[in-house]
Amino acid sequence: MKKSVLVLVAMALTVSLFIGCAKDSGTIKIAVVGAHSGDLASYGLPTVKAAELVAEEWNKKGGLLGKQIELVIEDDACKPEVAANSAAKVVGDGVVAVIGHICSGATKSALGIYNEAGIPAISPSATNPPLTQSGNYPNFFRTIAPDDAQAYTDSKFVAEVLGAKKVAILHDKQDYGKGFADFCMAALEEMGVETVLYEGITVGGIDYSSVLTKVANTDAEALIFGGYHPEASKLVQQMTQRGISIPFVSDDGVKDDTFIQVAGEFAEGVYASGPMDTSDNPMYKKAVQDHIDAYSEDPGAFFINAYAAATAMMNAIDKAGSTEGDAIMSALRSEYVETPLGSISFDEKGDAIGVGFAVYQVQNGVYVEL
Amino acid sequence: MNPDVKYFLQLVLSGLTKGSIYALIALGYTMVYGIIKLINFAHGEIYMIGAFTALIIGGVLQITTELSPLVILGISLVAAVFYSAAYGVTLEKIAYKPLRNAPRLTALISAIGMSLILQNFVLLAQTSDFLPFRSMIPDFSFLIPGKSLLTTTQLVIMVTTFVVMLFLTLLIKFTRMGKAMRATAQDKVMAQLVGIDINRVITFTFVIGSATAAIGGVLIANHTGQINFYIGFLAGIKAFVAAVLGGIGSIPGAVLGSFVLGMTESLGAGYISSAYDNAFAFLILILILIFKPSGLLGRNEVEKV
């Protein structure tokens, strides 16, 4: 019984080797791996569509290096343990580059496998800072700013534009909000700004007057808040009512039109950081229009970042004139490429130069980029 | 004023506000429990429905008429009270009355079920997003210089809490209906034997309990500036803790418990850390229940053997 299973497995492996060889001739294979099923599928599927649109465009022009592009699409369901298998599978399929993965955890578990195989990977959405900053994955690139870039943008704004010397930091005790608050505190310390108050608040609380009293009792010149808009709108309303007039600076969770709608007049003057707005870029408009033409609906999450990632990767292969991993990586680092996110290139660590956050302020009921 | 004293005073006032907010919801909890020994977990949803009614009625009035904000507040408040009371009474008729002679746990599960149904009903009928609730309470000019200490909405909430508590206490102590309520609470069978229509008494209790919840919903939404379908759950949990702390079934107990809770949270947040305000709230609950299991003003019930 056991023997027959072994024989079967051996046969299957042999056959798969042949299939692998047989396919290897006329195409350049690029993997698209990410969450395509499960509750985070809506984060991963737009990337597949973006890659398909970009590949189609290249193929129409005659392909890459004279060969047609073939996409190898694998699902990792956003799970690290599945991601390692998907990675091994696409490496076995002989891909020359990877677009993905989507979630930071899954990306991390797959990167080691690509690194050993010398295959570059570019993610449209994995924002965990150490992925690039640790230096463990020289084959990793991304077209989205890491989490701490946002805190850095806000901190720089508070220190240099607002000129604050002392700040109070509040956060909502959740991963995103507290992470942002921690990064801000570290960045501000380097810039010589003192954090005089650092506190968590309870999500869904009715009354934040005690903690605001505490803020008012310090000599903070600005209040930084890490969290989402429901708490932010309560905070700004209760601040105004109590006559606390220091600037309120927050994150992408607050840079949302719902915040302005809910906080109304109290939102006026609030600062929040968000991804730079590139919707005026002609490539951005074209990418969205292509998506609407092809699927008759608006694109989903990270579509633009994925479009930029696919464009950058294919451009790098073209410029490198080879499918060798090292050649592609050095092309990614040296060549600027036009994408929907603007003209971008990649730094030594793999973060995109030219992709980042900007600070916005609510003026007359709309967010205006400063 | 000495800054330390001012800081302390601000924290105390903020604690009083929180206490009044919890008390407005806790009063309804404790009244219903006092009469039919049921923890009405759907009470928070009645509070939420009150806030939604006021939002809708107030919104329509603000757009279509040019009434002054105070008149709009008054009309919305009355509408919310009626609407919530209707919900409360219906709830009792559908979910609790058929279970009156069933074990208490059964009615409790029924209450949790109603809470989920009402939440999801509002979620489907309205939206899952937060909706803005523009304050209808205009700022009193005499409070503006002291607004770092006390805002108008806070003052209105505190005063309302005291008025409602006073009204309920007088109602229960000095009216015929109050007497009937006390009798029903003591012994339903005996109350019926002496000619009290306990169904009417219980309906009345739900009307009053839901009305206070609606008043709380409207005033608190004025304070927070936003509502969604889930606010009742979060507020209800805190109010429930406050009612247990003060001795569930006791009206002054609910108010006292709420103030103890609000004050603990506020001073804890002010002098230690606001990250742990829920921890302080539950710590004080545990401490009080260890030393006085029936709550601060609760009466020890003698188990009859």
Please tell me the predicted confidence (pLDDT) of residue A22. Answer: 42
Residues in CB range of A168: below 8 A, 6 or more apart: A195, A196, A197, A198, A215, A218, A220, A222, A223, A224, A246
CB contact under 8 A, A230 and B226: yes
Domains A2-145+280-353 and A148-277+357-369 fall in the same CATH topology: yes
Please tell me the predicted confidence (pLDDT) of residue A317. Answer: 94
A92-107 pLDDT tens trace: 999 999 998 998 889 9
Please tell me the predicted confidence (pLDDT) of residue B27. Answer: 92
B59-94 pLDDT tens trace: 899 888 888 888 999 999 999 999 999 999 999 999
- Contact assessment for residue A307 and residue A320, using Cβ atoms and an 8 Å cutoff: no
Does the pLDDT at position B21 exceed 80?
yes
B276-287 pLDDT tens trace: 888 888 898 899
CB-based burial, B89-121: b 16+ in 10 Å, e otherwise: bebbeebbeebeeeeeeebeebbeebbeebbee
B134-171 pLDDT tens trace: 888 877 777 677 777 788 888 899 999 999 999 999 99
- Mean pLDDT on B262-277: 89
Does the pLDDT at position A18 exceed 60?
no
Q: How far apart are CA B100 and CA A149, in angstroms?
A: 60
- The domain tally of chain B equals 1
The pTM score is 0.78
- Contact assessment for residue B232 and residue B44, using Cβ atoms and an 8 Å cutoff: yes
Q: A2-145+280-353 sits in which CATH class?
A: alpha beta
**Considering just the CA atoms, what is the radius of gyration of chain A in Å?**
23
A53-81 pLDDT tens trace: 999 999 999 888 889 999 999 999 888 99
Q: How far apart are CA B259 and CA B175, in angstroms?
A: 27
Torsion of CA B221, B224, B228, B230, to 10 degrees: -100
CB contact under 8 A, B130 and A207: no
Amino acid letter for position A114 = Y
CA angle at A226 for the pair A206 and A35, rounded to the nearest 5°: 110
Asked if B17 has any chain A CB less than 8 Å from its own CB, the reply is yes
DSSP state of A343: E
Q: Which of B1-10, B34-43, B242-251 has the lowest mean pLDDT?
A: B1-10
Please tell me the predicted confidence (pLDDT) of residue A25. Answer: 55
Token pair 């050095």: residue: A330
Most confident of A83-87, A229-233, A348-352, B269-273: A83-87
Picking from A208, A213, A230, the nearest residue to B11 by CB comes out as A213
**Could you give phi then psi for residue A369, rounded to 5 degrees?**
-70, 135
Give the pLDDT band of residue A21 (cuts 50, 70, 90): very low
CB contact under 8 A, A258 and B129: yes
Supply the CATH classification number for the domain A148-277+357-369. Answer: 3.40.50.2300
CB-based burial, B13-22: b 16+ in 10 Å, e otherwise: bbbbbbbbbb
**Could you give phi then psi for residue A366, rounded to 5 degrees?**
-135, 155
Picking from B131, B220, B274, the nearest residue to A206 by CB comes out as B220
Amino acid letter for position A219 = D
Torsion of CA A185, A187, A192, A195, to 10 degrees: -10
> Which candidate, A172, A185, A183, places its Cα nearest to that of A226?
A172
CB contact under 8 A, B131 and A262: yes
Tell me the count of A-B CB pairs closer than 8 A.
100
Q: Decide: helix, strand or coil at residue A34.
A: strand
Give B160→chain A minimum CA distance, Å: 17
CA distances from B64 to A66, B60, B61 (A): 68, 6, 5
- Mean pLDDT on A240-265: 88
> Which candidate, B171, B173, B152, B182, places its Cα nearest to that of B212?
B171
- Element (DSSP H or E) covering residue A194: strand A194-200
In a domain, residue B199? The reply is yes
Q: How far apart are CA B155 and CA A349, in angstroms?
A: 56
Interface test with B, best of A202, A207, A217 (most B CBs within 10 A): A207
Give the pLDDT band of residue A179 (cuts 50, 70, 90): confident
Chain B residues near residue A199 by CB distance under 8 angstroms: 273-275
> Which candidate, B152, B154, B201, B206, places its Cα nearest to that of B178?
B201
Amino acid letter for position A141 = F
> Which candidate, A229, A252, A206, places its Cα nearest to that of B23?
A206
CB-hemisphere CA count at 13 Å for B253? 23
Q: Where are the domains of chain A?
A: 2-145+280-353, 148-277+357-369
β-strand pairing of B226-227 with B131-132:
antiparallel
Q: How far apart are CA B125 and CA B233, in angstroms?
A: 18
Kindly report the three-state secondary structure assignment for every residue of chain B: CCHHHHHHHHHHHHHHHHHHHHHHHHHHHHHHHHHHCCCCCCHHHHHHHHHHHHHHHHHHHHHHCCCCHHHHHHHHHHHHHHHHHHHHHHHHHHHHHHHCCCCHHHHHHHHHHHHHHHHHHHHHHCCCCCEECCCCCCCCHHHHHHCCCCCHHHHHHHHHHHHHHHHHHHHHHHCHHHHHHHHHHHCHHHHHHCCCCHHHHHHHHHHHHHHHHHHHHHHHHHHHCEECCCHHHHHHHHHHHHHHHHCCCCHHHHHHHHHHHHHHHHHHHHHCCHHHHHHHHHHHHHHHHHHCCCCCCCCCCCCCC
CA angle at A315 for the pair A309 and A321, rounded to the nearest 5°: 140
In a domain, residue B22? The reply is no
Asked if B224 has any chain A CB less than 8 Å from its own CB, the reply is yes
Tell me how long chain A is.
Answer: 370
> Which candidate, A61, A100, A59, places its Cα nearest to that of A83?
A100
B179-213 pLDDT tens trace: 999 999 888 899 999 999 999 999 999 999 999 99
Please tell me the predicted confidence (pLDDT) of residue A15. Answer: 53
CA distances from A342 to A50, A71, A122, A336, A364 (A): 16, 25, 17, 10, 28
Q: Burial, B145: exposed, middle or buried (Cβ in 10 Å; 0-12, 13-18, 19+)?
A: exposed
In a domain, residue B303? The reply is no
- Please give the biggest Cα pair distance in chain A: 80
Picking from B10, B148, B235, the nearest residue to A206 by CB comes out as B235
CB contact under 8 A, A200 and B131: no
CB-based burial, B171-191: b 16+ in 10 Å, e otherwise: bbeeeeebebbebbbeebeeb
User: Which residues of A sit within 8 Å Cβ distance of B?
Assistant: 173, 199-202, 204-211, 213-214, 216-217, 229-230, 233-234, 237, 241-244, 258, 261-264, 266
Domain hosting B121: range is: 33-232
Chain B residues near residue A216 by CB distance under 8 angstroms: 10, 148
Does the pLDDT at position A117 exceed 90?
yes
Interface test with B, best of A178, A203, A209, A257 (most B CBs within 10 A): A209
CB contact under 8 A, B274 and A214: yes
Residues in CB range of B18: below 8 A, 6 or more apart: A206, A207, A209, A210, B261, B262, B263, B265, B266
DSSP state of A360: E
Q: Decide: helix, strand or coil at residue A369.
A: strand
Q: How far apart are CA A64 and CA A58, in angstroms?
A: 7
Give the pLDDT band of residue B214 (cuts 50, 70, 90): very high
Give the pLDDT band of residue A223 (cuts 50, 70, 90): very high
Give A208→chain B minimum CA distance, Å: 9
Chain B residues near residue A263 by CB distance under 8 angstroms: 132, 225
Q: How far apart are CA A22 and CA B97, in angstroms?
A: 74
Please tell me the predicted confidence (pLDDT) of residue A23. Answer: 44
CB contact under 8 A, A216 and B15: no
